[in-house]
Amino acid sequence: MQLQGVDLNLLVVLEALLGERSVTRAGARLGLTPSATSHALARLRATFGDELLVRTRGGMVPTVRGEQLLAPLRLALRDVGTLLRGPLRFDPKTSRREFVLASTDYIEAVLLPPLLARVSAAAPAVQLRVRPLEPDIAGPLESGALTVALGVVFDDSPGLQQQALFSEEMVLVCRKGHPEVRRGLDLATYLRLRHVLVSVRGGTQSVVDERLAELGLSRQIALVVPHFLAAPLIVASSDLVLTTPARLVRRLGPGLALRTLAPPLAVPGFTVRQVWHERHQDDPGHLWLRQQIFAAAKTISSGKDGA
């Protein structure tokens, strides 16, 4: 049977006829006259090559073929109804959905506390799962394996959408009592000290080194680590120094006994962004999460996050 030769509206009538076992009641349910419903039944009989409903002393009853059709017919109509309704509504109060974020540990430390507070209050059963930020995020974002990526620099891939969240400045930290940083820090001392470099992707250069190279200078990097949170802990128990995001230092608090100074050269800050794929632009759940992330970032920009 070719679908293009079938009036699919008749299937709605067939479900009503088989369910009601009455031309009159089926027509009333669908807003059809008994005559129109009888005409539809005749067309259905011709389409299926079966009587579908027959009269008995007790009223109309389905044929064996009619009985076989009812259950799959209802499933098919339900699926078509779901298709035509469009995207499902997202209710944060009742949803048990899981959202996957990719991020660095710096962004996790700064953004997750206010974000989690918002999500927990509005959607107590929603789960957030965070995974490391990998170089290739376009594929996972497109497939939906990844909901949102949070970071600073992203490759320009087709279909990716970006939104700025908050800006950050860089500071220099060393341990309190550092023997060479007692009265501040000039550029000569900065270059003489041994540095920790945080490199998420494993490189040996940063914006600091690029800025120094422009001046024909270089610094001594003693240690390269892939995580932001490890670096201040190392600095607090050594004579190494670290140029790092200011909010991270404030988030860690005074417990590490770190001293914060302005770098002795202009080090550009950066902007943290959230990135998603346009394929999920209008997904109600994805949209809700992006709104929560943006709102949490606003508390960071205003200083209301406590960091």
CATH number listed for the domain at residues 3-85: 1.10.10.10
pLDDT at residue 181 tops 60: yes
Q: Which residues, at least 6 apart from 49, have a Cβ–Cβ distance to it below 8 Å?
A: none
Which tokens in the block code for residue 82?
């779901």
pLDDT, residue 6, reads 75
Which tokens in the block code for residue 185?
């820090």
The closest alpha carbon to 67, from 18, 17, 20, belongs to 18
pLDDT, residue 120, reads 96
Instruction: Report, as an integer, the average pLDDT of 109-116.
Output: 96
Q: Which H or E element spans position 234?
A: helix 230-236
The closest alpha carbon to 203, from 216, 221, 229, belongs to 221
Contact 12, 30 (CB under 8 A): yes
Helices of type H across 49-173: 64-85, 105-122, 138-143
CA dist 35 and 199 (Å) reads 77
Contact 218, 209 (CB under 8 A): yes
Q: Around Cβ 54, how many Cβ atoms within 10 Å?
A: 11
Burial class (CB in 10 A: 0-12, 13-18, 19+), 164: exposed
252-264 pLDDT tens trace:
877 888 999 999 9
CA dist 112 and 101 (Å) reads 11
What secondary structure letter does DSSP report for 178?
-
Q: Around Cβ 223, how many Cβ atoms within 10 Å?
A: 16
Tell me the pairing of strands 270-277 and 148-151.
antiparallel
Q: Which amino acid is at 115?
A: L
207-256 pLDDT tens trace:
999 999 999 999 999 999 999 999 999 999 999 999 999 999 998 877 88
Domain segments of the chain as ranges? 3-85, 98-165+272-302, 170-261
Please provide residue 150's backbone torsions phi and psi, each rounded to the nearest 5 degrees: -120, 125
pLDDT, residue 130, reads 97
123-161 pLDDT tens trace:
999 999 999 998 889 999 999 999 999 999 888 888 999
- Domain 98-165+272-302: state its class: alpha beta
Please provide residue 173's backbone torsions phi and psi, each rounded to the nearest 5 degrees: -125, 145
* CATH 3.40.50.11890 describes domain 170-261: no
pLDDT, residue 167, reads 95
What secondary structure letter does DSSP report for 228?
T
Asked if the domains 98-165+272-302 and 170-261 are classified in one and the same CATH topology, the answer is yes
Q: Which H or E element spans position 292?
A: helix 284-302
Q: What is the mean pLDDT of the chain?
A: 91
pLDDT at residue 16 tops 60: yes
Q: Which H or E element spans position 167?
A: strand 160-168
Q: Which amino acid is at 145?
A: A
Which tokens in the block code for residue 152?
């600073």
Tell me the pairing of strands 127-132 and 98-103.
parallel
What secondary structure letter does DSSP report for 270?
E
pLDDT at residue 1 tops 60: no
CA dist 282 and 261 (Å) reads 44
Length of the chain (residues):
307
